Amino acid sequence: MISRRFCGVGVALGMAIALVPHGFAQDLVITIRAATLLDGRGGVRHNITLVVRDGKIERIDPSPASAQTPPTGS
């Protein structure tokens, strides 16, 4: 079963990658903080920050333990 949080990260990442190449913004940088990241090869990383630039994943960094995520409407 896929959690809502994972679905939310997937949707946000999909939108970030889909919108940038179509001229939505030329130099748009999107930062996504995720509690759990599945890499598609069986790997799992926790508490990461994903940076997307020009429609491509630029880097994946560990998130600081003190980072706060604002609540989302649900």
pLDDT tens sequence across 57-71: 899 999 876 656 666
Structural domain includes residue 73: no
Structural domain includes residue 12: no
Structural domain includes residue 4: no
pLDDT value for 44: 92
Residue 30 token pair = 């999107």
pLDDT value for 29: 87
pLDDT value for 23: 57
User: Percent of the chain at pLDDT above 90?
Assistant: 14
Number of domains in the chain: 1
Range of the domain at 34: 26-64
Structural domain includes residue 43: yes
pLDDT value for 20: 56
Residues contacting 40, CB < 8 A, separation 6+: none
Give buried/exposed letters for 31-63 (b at 16+ CB in 10 A, else e). Answer: ebbbeebeeeeeeeeeebbbebeeeeeeeeeee
Q: Does the pLDDT value for residue 41 go beyond 60? A: yes
